[in-house]
Structure 1
Amino acid sequence: MLEIQNSRKVRKVSRTLTGLTLLILFTLLVSLGLGASSLSYNRLIPTFLGEGTFKEEFVLFSIRLPRIIITLLAGFALALSGAILQGITRNDLADPGIIGINSGAGVAVAIFFLFVPIEAGKLTYLIPVVAFIGAMMTAAMIYLFAYRRGAGLIPMRLVLVGVGFSMALSGVMIVLISSTDQKKVSFISRWLAGNIWGTDWIFIYSILPWLVILIPFALYKARRIDLLGLSEEVTISLGVSINKERILLLVAAVALASAAVSVAGSIAFIGLMAPHIARALVGPRNASSLPVSILTGGWLLLLADTIGRNIADPDGIPAGVIAALIGAPYFVYLLLKK
């Protein structure tokens, strides 16, 4: 009987992953043909095969495709980061954008961009590192304020402290923006709104190593995340070093969020929604829900960016704004439910 149930679960997860993959491919195909520079769908395959005009190849390989890949990778990272945070804090409201981690990364990137003179080529690879340092410092402060001796990490306190840090860091960002020239202000403002700004192949190379390392690490730790979701007494009785595992997974979640933020701007709610959708589809076990969450996050952000860049001329609406329009009501619903 148990073998039959496990077999059914495996088939359900496989079907869900296949369905999400097909949904991503369909959205990707639609996205490739939409935009300010038109590229008809019947010309996509010939252009992929090297039979397109110069304009078609430029639009596909230099504008459209890099942006789509970066959007997918950023969505993967944000969703996995949110799933890890929700697991280790036992709080369904945890999300790197809501609890201030994205804001910490943003302030660090803004300071680096505005005040550190550096060559453009080196800047691309350094931004994820700078974002990680800023996000890690913020996460450490939030963790300290949300931790109480004898009670451990208090989930609701973590969310409230995170929201407070996010607001405070937003104030710091306003001060930074008001003290620099207009060109740089324009970039930072769009970055804050969640504009997918890293739209060249070099940005893919800068974010990809982080995901190649951290996605397998998180999947390997899936069972540990399940155990951290239990009460602390039960988790300790099973031989799990709670603080060690929490810190390791927190570092991984922060690294994923900061890598995404470094190329996609400050985007909230993807890390909140994707894990919930995944658990609704395949159940709460992280071995099943984490892969589904990753694909769901990629699809949600790709959909948000596709809608945003085609809904208004000439520059479109940042993906972060579209994600917020979808995610904010869902956050309020979860908040009232809790």
Structure 2
Amino acid sequence: MTETLRRHRGAAMIALLALAAALALWADINAGYRSISLDELGQIARGAAPASLTYTLVELRLPRVLTALLVGAGLSLAGCLLQGVSRNDMADPGVLGINAGAGLLVAAFIVFVPAGLIPSTVALPLLAFAGSAAVAFAGWRLSVVRGASSPRRLLLIGVALATGL
């Protein structure tokens, strides 16, 4: 396969994926009790739409759609990083013990902190992040021997941490 054909195929694939993403975003914006037409979307952009329609799009649907887009991008980036660091196509947070660290701190909070003392909507995501970050750092640190880390050692230590936690 020539380099030009490979380049054109890559550009066509990116264009196709961008079109699919735009259609998925449009479908997600229209998921609800009332759909929003392209004409109404133009009215909202110009500021000529009714307040209820603007509220529906800007305050309710658009944050949901953008959050889903960012979460999906973040998860794909995290998966790529885990698979790249471990050099294993099957690597995931469960194999490296990251899920177990998050779950441990969340469970400890639920069991040991009296209800209502700290708002759980704030504490649970922060504790899950702290637990997962601590286990990821501990696994990486334990896998480093004489200044070098091997992916095989990282995976074995991650499995051991997941089992232990």
TM-score greater than 0.5 by the shorter chain = yes
Tell me the SS of whatever aligns to 2:101: helix
1:104 is displaced (CA, Å) by 3.0
Counterpart-to-counterpart distance in 2, 1:151 and 1:134: 22
Matched, 1:45 2:42: yes
For residues 1-338 of structure 1, the aligned pairs below 5 Å read 5=3, 7-35=4-32, 37-42=33-38, 43-96=40-93, 99-105=96-102, 107-108=104-105, 111=109, 117=118, 123=122, 131-143=128-140, 152-154=150-152, 156-157=155-156, 160-161=159-160, 163-164=162-163, 168=165
Letter of the aligned partner of 2:163 in structure 1? Answer: G
1:139 is displaced (CA, Å) by 0.8
1:83 is displaced (CA, Å) by 0.9
**What is the total number of aligned residue pairs between the two structures?**
157
Distance 1:91 1:50, change over 3 A: same
1:145 is displaced (CA, Å) by 5.8
1:61 is displaced (CA, Å) by 0.8
Counterpart-to-counterpart distance in 1, 2:161 and 2:57: 40
CA contact (8 A) 1:96 1:102 kept: yes
Distance 1:77 1:33, change over 3 A: same
Distance 1:12 1:161, change over 3 A: farther
Q: Which runs of 5+ in 1 are unaligned?
A: 169-338
Distance 1:29 1:94, change over 3 A: same
Distance 1:25 1:162, change over 3 A: farther
CA contact (8 A) 2:103 2:128 kept: yes
Counterpart-to-counterpart distance in 1, 2:15 and 2:47: 29
Distance 1:116 1:153, change over 3 A: farther
Identity of aligned residues (%): 26
Counterpart-to-counterpart distance in 1, 2:116 and 2:139: 26
CA RMSD of aligned residues (A): 3.8
Counterpart-to-counterpart distance in 1, 2:45 and 2:69: 19
**TM-score, length-scaled by structure 1:** 0.38
Q: Which runs of 5+ in 2 are unaligned?
A: none
Letter of the aligned partner of 1:67 in structure 2? Answer: R
CA contact (8 A) 2:102 2:132 kept: yes
CA contact (8 A) 2:97 2:161 kept: yes
CA contact (8 A) 2:97 2:162 kept: yes
